C-alpha cells in the first residue's frame, strides 16, 4: 500500500508533462524569455542574432545575475536588500583606492573590496534580525549611509570621485578581462554561480530552509531552523556578491566611480520577479531567476537592434514586470490547487 502510494510522484517526475511544467516557478520566466527572443528576432532583424549582440546581453545578464541570485534568495526568504546599489561603487572605490591610489598589492585590494561587502552584509543582517524594522527600511538606510561614506572618504583620501586603477596579471585576467574582446569574464563567474546556486537551493537541504523561512518564519524557527543565522548569511551573500561585481568592474574598466550601481537595485528586483519569485516569499527558483535576468538583459540590449527608440525598452520592461506579477499569482494558484486527477 505504502510503496504504491509513493509511486505516482516518482512516475510523474520522470515523465515530461506540460501541466507539471506550468506549475513550476520558472514557467512564466521561460515563456517571457521566449517571447522577448521572438520579439527581437522579428523586430531586430539579423543584427540581434549575431555574437556581438549576444555579448551585449550576456555581459549585462552576467553582472546583473550575480546580484539577482542572492536578491532572489532574500526575497524567497521574505526579505529585501536595496543597499547593493551602494555596495557596487563602494567595492569598486575600495579596490581602486587601495590598489590604484595607494599602489598596494592587487590581492590586498581584492580582499578589502570583498571585506567591505562582508561588513555591510553583517550590519544589514544584524540590524534586520535584531530590530523589528522592515528590511526595506534597514537597507535603505545602509544604502544611503554607504553611499555617503564612500563619497566622503574618497574625496578625503583622493580628492576625487573617480579613481584610476591599472592592473594586469592574474587578478585582472580572472576578474576583469574580456574574452575575444567582447565577452566579459564575468559570464563564466555567472554560469559557475548558477550551477552552485542550483545545487545549494534545489538539491542540498539548505534550500528547504530558505523556502520554509519565507513561507512562515516562526514555524521555520520552531522546526529547528537557525533563521537568524541564515538571514544574516543571506545578507552577507548579497552584499558580498554586489562587492564582487563592483570589484570586477573596476578591474575591467580600469577606473572606479562613486556614482555607478544604483540601477542594479531595481534591475535585480525586476529580474527576480520576472523570474517567478513571489513578492510575498516562499516560492521561486534559481533557474527562473536565471531566465528572468536574461529576459531583462535581452530587452535592455535588444532594443538597439530595432528601429525603436531606446526609451521604449523601459516600457517593455514595465509591461513584462506587470505581466509577470499577475502570472506569478496565477501559477501559484495552479500549483496550490493541483491534485492528481487521474488514477
Partner 1 sequence: MTNATSAPVLELKNINKSFGPIDVLHDISLQLRAGEVLCLLGDNGAGKSTLIKILSGVHVPSSGSILMDGSPVSFATPRDASDRGIATVHQFGGTFPLMSIGRSFFVGAEPTKGWGPFRVFDRKKANEVAVKAVRDFGITRIEDGDRLVGGLSGGERQSLAIARAVHFGARVLILDEPTAALGVKQATHVLRIVNQAKKRGLAVIFITHQVMHAMAVGDHFAVLIRGSVAADFKKGERTREEITDLMAGGETMAGLEKEIEDYMSSHDGHPPPAGH
In sequence order, which residues have a C-beta less than 8 Å from that of residue 12 and are 6 or more positions away? Answer: 20, 340
Q: Which positions lie near partner 1, rule CB under 8 A?
A: 1-2, 5-6, 8-10, 12-13, 203-205, 207-209, 211-212, 215-216, 218-226, 278, 282-283, 332, 335-340, 343
In sequence order, which residues have a C-beta less than 8 Å from that of residue 199 and are 6 or more positions away? Answer: none
In sequence order, which residues have a C-beta less than 8 Å from that of residue 162 and are 6 or more positions away? Answer: 255, 256, 257, 258
CB 212, min distance to partner 1, A: 4
**Which one, 212 or 320, has the nearer CB to partner 1?**
212
For the chain, how many residues are written?
A: 343
| Residue 301 to residue 54: CA distance in whole angstroms | 9
SS3 state at 178: strand
Measured CA to CA in angstroms, residue 236 lies from 115, 136, 224 at distances of: 10, 16, 22
Q: Which three cell numbers stand for residue 258?
A: 562613486
Q: Are 27 and 17 in contact (CB under 8 A)?
A: no
CB 236, min distance to partner 1, A: 20
**Which one, 108 or 192, has the nearer CB to partner 1?**
192
**Which one, 57 or 283, has the nearer CB to partner 1?**
283
CB 60, min distance to partner 1, A: 30
| Residue 101 to residue 223: CA distance in whole angstroms | 51
Measured CA to CA in angstroms, residue 269 lies from 101, 289, 318 at distances of: 34, 10, 12
**Which one, 311 or 343, has the nearer CB to partner 1?**
343
Q: Which of 84, 111, 94, 72 is nearest to 154 (CA)?
A: 94
**Which one, 5 or 181, has the nearer CB to partner 1?**
5
**Which one, 183 or 216, has the nearer CB to partner 1?**
216
Q: Which three cell numbers stand for residue 212?
A: 520554509
| Residue 80 to residue 74: CA distance in whole angstroms | 6
CB 228, min distance to partner 1, A: 9
**Which one, 100 or 281, has the nearer CB to partner 1?**
281
CB 329, min distance to partner 1, A: 12
Q: Is 13 exposed, middle or buried (0-12, 13-18, 19+ CB in 10 A)?
A: exposed
**Which one, 23 or 43, has the nearer CB to partner 1?**
23
CB 284, min distance to partner 1, A: 9
CB 11, min distance to partner 1, A: 10
Which residue's entry shows cell 581602486? 96
The neighbouring-strand residues paired with 183 are: 179
CB 18, min distance to partner 1, A: 16
Strand bridging mode 255-257 / 162-164: antiparallel
**Which one, 167 or 328, has the nearer CB to partner 1?**
328
CB 28, min distance to partner 1, A: 15
Amino acid at each position: 500500500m505504502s510503496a504504491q502510494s509513493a509511486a505516482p510522484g516518482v512516475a510523474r517526475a520522470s515523465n515530461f508533462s506540460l501541466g507539471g511544467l506550468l506549475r513550476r516557478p520558472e514557467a512564466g520566466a521561460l515563456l517571457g524569455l521566449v517571447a522577448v527572443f521572438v520579439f527581437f528576432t522579428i523586430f531586430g532583424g539579423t543584427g540581434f542574432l549575431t555574437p556581438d549582440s549576444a555579448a551585449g546581453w550576456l555581459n549585462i545578464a552576467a553582472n546583473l545575475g550575480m546580484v539577482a541570485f542572492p536578491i532572489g534568495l532574500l526575497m524567497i526568504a521574505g526579505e529585501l536588500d536595496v543597499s547593493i546599489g551602494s555596495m557596487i561603487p563602494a567595492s569598486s572605490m575600495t579596490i581602486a583606492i587601495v590598489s590604484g591610489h595607494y599602489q598596494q598589492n592587487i590581492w590586498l585590494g581584492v580582499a578589502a573590496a570583498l571585506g567591505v561587502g562582508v561588513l555591510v552584509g553583517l550590519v544589514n543582517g544584524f540590524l534586520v534580525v535584531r530590530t523589528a524594522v522592515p528590511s526595506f527600511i534597514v537597507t535603505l538606510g545602509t544604502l544611503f549611509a554607504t553611499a555617503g561614506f564612500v563619497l566622503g572618504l574618497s574625496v578625503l583620501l583622493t580628492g576625487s570621485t573617480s579613481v584610476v586603477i591599472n592592473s594586469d596579471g592574474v587578478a585582472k585576467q580572472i576578474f576583469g578581462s574580456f574574452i575575444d574582446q567582447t565577452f566579459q569574464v564575468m559570464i563564466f563567474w555567472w554560469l559557475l554561480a548558477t550551477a552552485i546556486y542550483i545545487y545549494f537551493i534545489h538539491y542540498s537541504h539548505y534550500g528547504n530552509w530558505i523556502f520554509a523561512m519565507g513561507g512562515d518564519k516562526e514555524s521555520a524557527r520552531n522546526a529547528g531552523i537557525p533563521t537568524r543565522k541564515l538571514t544574516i548569511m543571506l545578507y552577507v551573500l548579497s552584499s558580498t556578491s554586489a562587492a564582487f561585481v563592483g570589484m570586477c568592474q573596476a578591474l575591467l574598466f580600469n577606473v572606479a566611480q562613486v556614482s555607478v550601481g544604483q540601477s542594479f537595485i531595481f534591475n535585480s528586483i525586476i529580474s527576480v520577479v520576472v523570474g517567478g519569485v513571489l513578492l510575498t516569499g516562499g516560492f521561486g527558483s534559481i533557474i527562473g531567476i536565471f531566465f528572468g535576468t536574461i529576459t531583462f538583459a535581452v530587452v535592455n540590449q535588444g532594443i538597439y537592434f530595432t528601429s525603436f527608440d531606446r526609451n521604449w525598452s523601459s516600457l517593455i520592461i514595465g509591461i513584462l514586470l506587470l505581466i509577470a506579477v499577475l502570472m506569478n499569482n496565477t501559477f501559484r494558484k495552479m500549483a496550490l490547487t493541483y491534485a492528481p486527477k487521474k488514477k
